[in-house]
Amino acid sequence: MANIFCGKRLNPFSRIKDSWNQWIIHFTIFWIFISICIDMATSLNICSTKCQCQDSMNDFSVHCANRNLTSMPIGIPNNVTNLDLSMNPIPFLSSVILGNLHFSHLKRLDLRMCGIRNLETHTLQNLFLLEELHLDHNKLTTLSSGTLSNMEHLKVLSLNNNDLLSLGNFTFEGLSLQDLNLNDNRHLFELESGVFYNSSVENLSIDRCSLRTISSSTFKPLFTSLKVLFWSGNLKPLNIPQDMFLGFQFNQLHMSNDGITNVDFLRHTNAVHLDLSGNPLHELTIDFSNTDGLKTTEFLSLSGCHLRVFALQETISLDNLQHLDLSHNRLHRLDSRSFLHVRNLRYLDLTGLYRMLTLYI
């Protein structure tokens, strides 16, 4: 009698298929292991030969400062959070050098004193989580619109001591910055009216530049965000439009040694700390009628302004003023009636006057 087979017929190809699948799985695991080992070996090589590395719980820092590098070193781990390449002669950064690297965890990039002359538009396109970018002491002459796009997490942008000439419309579009530093760009003569379009900045520093007349609309996009402005030592005499700071509420406004001769803009300016020292004002007689200028001011410095006349009109409200610095001026007469409506004044500095002061009571 013929044997009857009641079980499942075995397919000879299924064993081959199963073996092939297992081989693929083992090979994949092996390749991943090899890749990890290569990455570790490469990063260890970078950290032992060219750079110093620090690995903490949430941060991996690579310090390559002053190593005479002429290009981006190979082997920087993709999980780097803090990368310091400062003081290396890397004059050109292009999308080929930096843009194609996927530093998806990078938060701080230091490129100070690298002699950088140009940043291509897409150089920084993959640094989505970058929070701090330091480009001080380079040779940048321009910063094109779009260079800083897709950097919604950027909080600190420092461009001090470059060769910037002009910053055009949309340069800072889309950015929400805590600190923007543009100090010591001695050839910077223009901020176009749309330079801050769709952006916000809390602390802005533009000391010792060569800016001339600026449109009253230049700072308008920063109306609600800008709280601290350092704009001192301008290399060209500044002419400030009357409504430049209309509606702004500054914590600090520093505009010393700017060659300012007309301060009518104070009619619409409010700053808790206001420094106008070193400007050749000669006299301060402003009509504050129908304005709310200086209502929040607690500290006012007019030191070294060549003042001969200082007369606060009855129309001005300085109820919050506590500290008034009139030192190192040329005042020879001061009418105490000017201070009748300055009810909370605690400190009046009259030191270093050029001639004997007569106080009229």
Query: pLDDT for 302-356, tens place per residue?
Result: 999 999 888 776 556 788 999 999 999 988 777 777 777 788 999 999 998 866 5
Per-residue model confidence (pLDDT) at position 25: 64
- Note the pLDDT tens digit of each residue in 16-41: 556 666 666 655 655 554 444 444 44
C-beta neighbour count of 354 within 10 angstroms: 12
As a whole number of Å, the CA-based R_g of the chain is: 31
Greater confidence (180 vs 50) lies with 180
Please tell me the least confidently modeled range out of 96-105, 193-202, 349-358.
96-105
Across the range 145-171, mean pLDDT stands at 94
Per-residue model confidence (pLDDT) at position 291: 73
Q: Which among 82, 87, 85 has a CA at the least distance from the CA of 103?
A: 82
Please tell me the least confidently modeled range out of 91-100, 139-148, 215-224.
91-100
Across the range 167-187, mean pLDDT stands at 97
Q: Which amino acid is at 15?
A: R
Residue 324 is inside which H or E element, if any?
Answer: strand 323-325
Report the C-alpha gap between 222 and 177 in whole angstroms. 11
Contact 251, 230 (CB under 8 A): no
How much is the pTM? 0.84
Q: Which among 341, 293, 295, 347 has a CA at the least distance from the CA of 325?
A: 347
Helix locations, 105-177, DSSP H:
none
Per-residue model confidence (pLDDT) at position 293: 83
Per-residue model confidence (pLDDT) at position 314: 59
Report the C-alpha gap between 307 and 312 in whole angstroms. 13
The residue written with tokens 């409010």 in the block is 270
Contact 327, 307 (CB under 8 A): no
Q: What is the mean pLDDT of the chain?
A: 84
Residue 186 clears pLDDT 60, i.e. is over it: yes
- Helix or strand or coil: residue 285? coil
Contact 310, 333 (CB under 8 A): no
Per-residue model confidence (pLDDT) at position 96: 52
Please tell me the least confidently modeled range out of 38-42, 65-69, 228-232.
38-42
Residue 170 clears pLDDT 90, i.e. is over it: yes
Greater confidence (199 vs 96) lies with 199
Per-residue model confidence (pLDDT) at position 211: 95
- List all residues 6 or more positions away from 323 whose beta carbon is below 8 Å from its beta carbon: 298, 299, 300, 345, 346, 347, 349
Report the C-alpha gap between 70 and 53 in whole angstroms. 20
Of the CATH numbers 3.30.420.10, 3.80.10.10, 3.40.309.10, 3.40.1360.10, which one belongs to the domain with range 249-361?
3.80.10.10
Report the C-alpha gap between 248 and 224 in whole angstroms. 7
Per-residue model confidence (pLDDT) at position 44: 45
Per-residue model confidence (pLDDT) at position 43: 43
Report the C-alpha gap between 47 and 352 in whole angstroms. 58
Greater confidence (298 vs 123) lies with 298
Per-residue model confidence (pLDDT) at position 161: 98
Q: Which amino acid is at 4?
A: I
Per-residue model confidence (pLDDT) at position 9: 54
Q: Which among 225, 350, 344, 224 has a CA at the least distance from the CA of 296?
A: 344
**Phi/psi class of residue 22: alpha, beta or left (left: φ > 0; alpha: ψ in -120 to 50)?**
alpha
- Note the pLDDT tens digit of each residue in 250-302: 999 999 999 999 998 998 999 999 999 999 998 877 666 667 788 899 999 99
4-18, 43-57, 136-150: which is most confident: 136-150
Contact 344, 321 (CB under 8 A): yes
Per-residue model confidence (pLDDT) at position 38: 44
